[in-house]
Structure 1
Amino acid sequence: MSTTKIEKKPISFSNILLGAGLNMSEVTTLGQPLEVIKTTMAANRNLTMAQAAKLVWSRGGILGFYQGLIPWAWIEASTKGAVLLFVSAEGEYRLKSLGASPFISGMGGGVLGGLAQAYLTMGFCTCMKTVEITRAKQAKTTGVPQQTSFQVFQEIWKKEGLKGINKGVNAVAIRQMTNWGSRFGFSRLAEDAIRKFSGKGENQKLSNLDKIFASVIGGGLSAWNQPIEVIRVEMQSKTNDPNRPKNLSVWGAFKYIYKNNGIKGLYRGVTPRIGLGVWQTVFMVAFGDIFKKMLNTEGTGH
């Protein structure tokens, strides 16, 4: 059990604006290019990372790496960042106040934040981003002119309604729970290790560089759940494969991928995913802590 003194401050809704701003910055810099490469590899499981990057480049040069950024990634980033930082901070504080360790508190807050992200904001945005990234291949192979993002959205809405644009949301929820539970949990564990090896006391504040280093470790280790991400991409992809079952469930997508690509197929895109995990965790955990301290709102999460 942690003996860290928890000072409760009023719930600060500035965490909502801070989360939105940090996530917008993350996705607009390296976040979306890594997301595009990762998704391309997960959808085209025969490609190496270099081949995936070449394919993305062929879609429009440097702009190909920002496919799906506007509007879907921006909508997703601003909403999911706000939800994540607010919910995870409150969840982490509540668990700490009950005497849970920093690792358990961080993991619990991350799980709650990831779950809230998936069902409140991420379902349709993640689906539309994946459609945006994967549909270019379909247009190229069929010769049919590529639709605009909003034409695709309208088509899915007309055929399948709300369920269609939230396709794969359960896989998104599993991914986000394990993503942010791991990222916050492992980052807090790394912070404890840094304190121990540097001789700092439990209540002594870490430097900004310590926070960033701990987030790099937490983000890298969070890529263990890559099979969930590959399953999510498969469920949301647009494809003409006649052997692919319709209306895939999480389990159905797992069996389809394993049958066609084996265990390696479930880990396609893990390298850019590690990079993306590190980048996202540095922004949302390390920078989140640093800016919450500056805004004097850290009591709601620490």
Structure 2
Amino acid sequence: MADISIPKTPVIEKKPVNFSNILLGAALNMAEVSTLGQPLEVVKTTMAANRKFSIFQATKHIWARGGVLGFYQGLIPWAWIEASTKGAVLLFVSAEAEYQFKVLGANNFLAGMGGGVSGGLAQAYLTMGFTTCLKTVEITRTKQATVGVAQQTSLQVFREIFRKEGIRGINRGVNAVAIRQMTNWGSRFGFSRLAEEMIRNVTGKGDSQPLSAYEKILGSVIGGGLSAWNQPIEVIRVEMQSKTNDPNRPKNLGVLGAAKYIYGQSGVMGLYRGVVPRIGLSVWQTVFMVAFGDIVKNLLNVQAAGH
């Protein structure tokens, strides 16, 4: 009698959620923003807020504001607060969501995209509303140039916005931030997983064989670069939160109102201002949070299994 064997359904392994993994997300994001992350963010935001600037003009403008330190405007405290919280939220939520999507039968691309969308949504509403707003205010506000007039500190700016506009003012643009983060990390995780699949096909590696660190980084570079397709959402977010002086700009812009205003002022190309530094920033962030995140999480889990 012929032996009829039933193919086994592949077991989807759920990696343990360790406190060290949550700390890892915060540490990776802090390292990312404190190196090239914030300078690229400042250039990108400056170009999005001043849509006539080229990269050279934006760089010259930032240098005139504060030299090297001008490229780290808004790093302390807002970018550090944002990085230390959103990184932990992203790695925790995205890993859990990606596992659940795989359980439901999604392939690596769809599971990665679903995990990234979930992580980005949680980032926006749990940790990023006020920090992103205040970081953009710091980058775009006009500095007082009069001799003898004291500069407003970051906390003074925060208090002034809160006094005038309350919680709504502090969280201005949070819906645009949510759309940005969902599309950001959905694209970054999804395209990175798709790139990893392509690398596996080229190298002949099976699903059970781990990719090398270089292959992981290459996948993240591809995924990060492709994720910059949503630059119009970023330009809209910057416009909603910007303190750049423009008497023609309507007050209290929403997402659609900001899109119409930008299109009316600068056309379609205005919605893509700052896309070049944005590609660099997306690649840098994705390498840290996807490639390095996977590499270090695997090391931590292997060590934990060995004890």
What is the number of residues matched between the two proteins?
295
Measured in 2, the distance between the counterparts of 1:232 and 1:114 equals: 15
Corresponding position: 1:20 with 2:23: no
Change (3 A) 1:40 1:297: farther
The normalised TM-score by structure 2 is: 0.93
Look up the match of 1:270: 275
Call closer, same or farther: CA 1:140–1:29 in 2, change over 3 Å.
Answer: same
Higher RCO (Cα < 8 Å, 6 or more apart): 1
Task: Report if the CA contact (8 A) 1:41-1:49 is conserved.
Answer: yes
Aligned CA distance change for structure 1 residues 144 and 269 (closer, same or farther; 3 Å): farther
Return the offset for 1:283.
0.1
Q: Cα distance, 1:5 vs. partner?
A: 3.4
Query: 2:263 & 2:271 partners in 1: Cα distance?
Result: 7
Q: Which has the larger radius of gyration?
A: 2
Q: Tell me, what secondary structure is at the counterpart of 2:301?
A: coil
Unpaired runs of 5+ residues, structure 2, are: 1-8
In structure 1, stretches of 5+ residues that fail to align are none
Q: 1:131 aligns with which of 126, 132, 137?
A: 137
Cα distance in structure 2, aligned partners of 1:271 and 1:282: 17
Equivalent residue in structure 2 for 1:232, among 230, 233, 237: 237
Aligned equivalent of 1:110:
116
Deviation at 1:239, TM superposition (A): 3.0
Which whole-Å CA distance do the structure 1 matches of 2:251 and 2:102 have between them? 45
Deviations 1:145-192 (A, max 9, x none): 642111110000111111110000000000000000000000000000
| 1:155 aligned to which of 157, 160, 168 | 160
Q: How does 1:1-302 map to 2 (within 5 A)?
A: 5-136=11-142, 139=144, 146-296=151-301
Give distance in 2, aligned partners of 1:68 and 1:136. 14
Q: What's the % identity of the aligned pairs?
A: 77
Alignment correspondent of 2:4: none
Contact 1:12–1:297 (CA under 8 A) maintained in structure 2: no
Q: Which amino acid aligns with 2:185?
A: W
Output the amino acid matched with 1:200: K
1:51 alignment partner AA: Q
Cα distance in 1, alignment partners of residues 95 and 289 from structure 2: 11
Distance of 2:116 and 2:15 partners within structure 1 = 20
Structure 1 segments of 4+ aligned residues over 4 angstroms from their partners: none
- Measured in 2, the distance between the counterparts of 1:76 and 1:193 equals 33
